[in-house]
Structure 1
Amino acid sequence: MSYEPYDCIDVGSEFCPCHLAETGDCILCSQLAGKDFCDCCNFNGVCIYQEYVSNNFKAKEGRKYYHCKILEKNKLEDNVIILTVGASDKLVSELVYAGSYIFARRPDTETRFDTPISILDTDTRNNTITIAIEIKGTKTKALDLLKLGEELLVKGPFWNGTLGLKNIYKVKNSICLIVARGIGQAPMIPVLKYLHANNNENIVVLDNSPYKNSFVSEYLEKYASKVIQCNTIENGRVTDEFNNILNDLISNNNISLVHCDAADVLNYELMKVVEDMDKNIKYSCCNNAKMCCGEGVCGCCTRINNDLKLRRLCKMQTEPKYVLEGRRIF
C-alpha cells in the first residue's frame, strides 16, 4: 500500500492535546508517541508538544455533556425516529461540518448508554440540532422512550464521521455524485449542503432499503440537481442496475467527487468500481468505525489492516482506501 497522508481531526482544537498524549499514543506528534525527536508526520501549524507543555503536561479538558430539550419527535417508520433538540449556540455552530456527530443518551441512564449518532441538520438561527435514529438495540430503544419536552443528554462536538474530508473541502464548481443507503441518508445531508454551498452540482443516487421511503426528501429538493432511486447492492456486490447507472453518469459527466454514505461493504465496492472507471475521481465515505468514547481511549474504534498499522478511527482522518482495503468486511 502507498504512503498514507493522515491527520487528527482534533489537532489545533480546544481538545488537543488529548489523553492519548499522556500515554504516548498521540496520532501526530512523534514526541508524544514515544520518540525522542521531533518528526511530525503532518504539521498543521500548531505544535502539539508545546501545547502539552503549556498545559502542565496534561491533556486538555474533553467534551462536555449538554442537556438538550426535545422540540420535535417524529416516528417515520417502525424503527426510525427524527429528533430535533434545542442546544447552545456554541454546540450548534460546532456541528455544522460534514462528518459531525454526537453521543446521546437519556439523562437517567449510565454513560455506557452513550450512542454515537450522525448529525442530519443544524439550524444556527434557532439553535437546534436534528438527528435520525434507527431503533435497533438497547441503546437506541432507550432513546425511543424519550417524549416531546423531555431532555436528551448530548456529548459533543465530534467530527470524524466522514473519511476523505479533504476531498469534500477541495471540490468547487464541479459535478459530484452522492450515494446513500438506509440510515446513511442522515450523514449525507451535511455533505450535500456543503457541496451545494461551494457551487457544485449534486447528483444523488438513493437506496431507501430497508425503508419504504426516504426521510430526507425536503433536503434533496433544495440541494440536489438530480435524484436517482435504485437498489445499490445485493449479496455483497454492486447491482447491475446501479453499475449501469454509474457507467452512464461517469461517462457523460465530468464528475470530480463520489461520496458514499452506507455500510462499509457498499463503501468499498463503490470505491473499487469508481477506481476502475476513472482513477482521477476523488472519493469519500462515511466512517463506520465502532465508537464507544470518541476519544481514542476505549479502543473500540481501532483497526489493524494488512499493513499492521493501528488506526484510531474516531480521531484519525484519512483516505477511505487506507481503511477499507486489506480488511475483512463481510
Structure 2
Amino acid sequence: MNYNTYDCIDAGTENCPCYLALTGDCLICSRLQGKDCCDCNWRGVCIYNEFVQGNRKVNNPRAEFEAKILEKKFYLDDLVIFVLDVGKGFAIKASHPGSYVFLRGRESSHFYDLPISVMHADVEKGTIHVAVKIIALKTKALLEESERFILRGVYRNGIQGVSALRPSRTKGQKILLIAKGIGVAPAILTANALRRQNKVDFVLDTEKISTELIHDYLEGKYKIGDVKEEINCSDELGTIKYLTLNNEEDQKDLLRLLKKENYDCVSVLASDYFVDTIGALVRKTLPEAKFANSNNFRICCGEGICGACSFVNDAGETIRMCKCQRKE
C-alpha cells in the first residue's frame, strides 16, 4: 500500500486489528503484511503488538443485531426515512460525519446487506435516522420489513477527506456543504456534528429529494437564502441556498459564493460527476481550502475483504476504498 497516499479509517480504533490482519493484508502494518521489519510510518499504538497481545484475533468485530423500526415515513414515493432503536452507545458512534451502517430485512440473506448513510443520530433517545432511496432489489426489500432490521456497524468511511470534518479537530471554521439528492443525508449528519463550533452553510440541489425532509431536519437551525441574493449569515445560523448544480447560471452563483465567503472547507456530497466538476471549481477558486467528498465506490462488505470497492493504482497496489482514506 502507498503509505504516503492513503490511511486506514479503522487504524487505532476499537475495531483494529481487523480481519485483514489475519490474512497478511493489513493496510498499515508492514509486519502484518509479512515483512521482516517495521516501516509502517504509523504514529499510533503499534498494530502488530495489539494483534499479538490479543492472541492474533480480530479486535471487537462489528456484530449484527436487530434494530427495531420505531418510525417509517415516506417523503416521496421512492424516498423513505426509517427511525431505528440502536441504543445510546451506538448512536454516539453513529453521530460522526461519514458514518454508515449495513441494513437488511430479517428474512433476507446476507446478499441483501445494504450500506446506508446515517442522516441523524439522537443520542438521548438512542436512535438513528436513515434515508433510503428506493431504486432496486435491495432497497425494495427493506420496504417489506415492518418491525426490525438486521443492522451491522458503525462504519466510518462514507466521506473521503473526513479528517477536515471531525468535530474534535474542526473548530471556528467556515464550512460549505454542497449536496445533491440522497447526498443530503450525510450532509445533515455532518452539519449537526459541526454547527455548534463552526459556521456551516448549505448549497442544496433538491432533484430527487424532498424539501419537506430538509424542512423537518433543518428547521430552526438554518436560514433560507434567496438563490439570486448574496448570502447573509449570522453567527448563530448558517444559510441554505437552493441551486441546480448542472445549471450554468447557478454555477456562477456558486462561484460568487465561494469567492465571497472564502470557506476553510468545502464538501461535495453527490455523484462522481459533480464531485469532479464542482470539486475542480472549488480547488481553482479556493486552493487553500480543505476538500471532502462522498465515497461513491461500490461498498459491499465494509471490511476490505470482498474487493467490490477496490481499484489498482499506478503503482500496482490494490486500494480498498471501504477502508482507505486519502491523506490530505
TM-score by length of 2: 0.89
- Counterparts of 1:86-125 in structure 2, within 5 Å, are 86-125=85-124
**Quick one: distance in 1 between partners of 2:218 and 2:87?**
27
For 1:157, the aligned partner's letter is V
Partner SS for 2:303? coil
In the alignment, which residue of structure 2 is the partner of 1:231?
A: 244
Q: Which moved more, 1:309-318 or 1:123-132?
A: 309-318
Instruction: State the Cα distance separating 1:171 from its structure 2 match.
Output: 3.4
**Quick one: distance in 1 between partners of 2:129 and 2:38?**
42
How many pairs does the alignment contain?
310
- Counterparts of 1:9-28 in structure 2, within 5 Å, are 9-28=9-28
Q: Which moved more, 1:209-218 or 1:54-63?
A: 209-218
**Unpaired stretches in structure 1, ≥5 consecutive residues:** 234-238, 321-330
- Counterparts of 1:116-265 in structure 2, within 5 Å, are 116-147=115-146, 150-169=147-166, 170-198=169-197, 200-211=198-209, 213=211, 215-224=213-222, 225-233=238-246, 239-265=247-273
- Report if the CA contact (8 A) 1:186-1:216 is conserved: no
**Quick one: distance in 2 between partners of 1:267 and 1:249?**
18
In the alignment, which residue of structure 2 is the partner of 1:311?
A: 319
**Quick one: distance in 2 between partners of 1:308 and 1:160?**
23
In the alignment, which residue of structure 2 is the partner of 1:323?
A: none
Q: Which moved more, 1:215-224 or 1:29-38?
A: 215-224
Match of 1:302 among 287, 291, 310: 310
Instruction: State the Cα distance separating 1:3 from its structure 2 match.
Output: 8.2
Q: Deviations over 1:192-221 (max 9, x none)?
A: 1122022x2222110011235352223333
For 1:242, the aligned partner's letter is D
Give the 3 Å change call, closer, same or farther, for CA 205–307 of structure 1 in structure 2: farther
**Unpaired stretches in structure 2, ≥5 consecutive residues:** 223-237
- Report if the CA contact (8 A) 2:99-2:157 is conserved: yes
For 1:36, the aligned partner's letter is D
- Report if the CA contact (8 A) 2:255-2:281 is conserved: no
Instruction: State the Cα distance separating 1:41 from its structure 2 match.
Output: 3.0
Instruction: State the Cα distance separating 1:87 from its structure 2 match.
Output: 1.4
Give the root-mean-square deviation of aligned CA atoms. Answer: 1.9
In the alignment, which residue of structure 2 is the partner of 1:236?
A: none
In the alignment, which residue of structure 2 is the partner of 1:33?
A: 33
TM-score by length of 1: 0.89
For 1:160, the aligned partner's letter is N
Give the 3 Å change call, closer, same or farther, for CA 307–218 of structure 1 in structure 2: farther
1:286 aligns with 2:294: yes
Q: Which moved more, 1:274-283 or 1:220-229?
A: 220-229
Q: Deviations over 1:254-305 (max 9, x none)?
A: 3111011111111121111111112101111111111111100011111224
Instruction: State the Cα distance separating 1:20 from its structure 2 match.
Output: 0.7
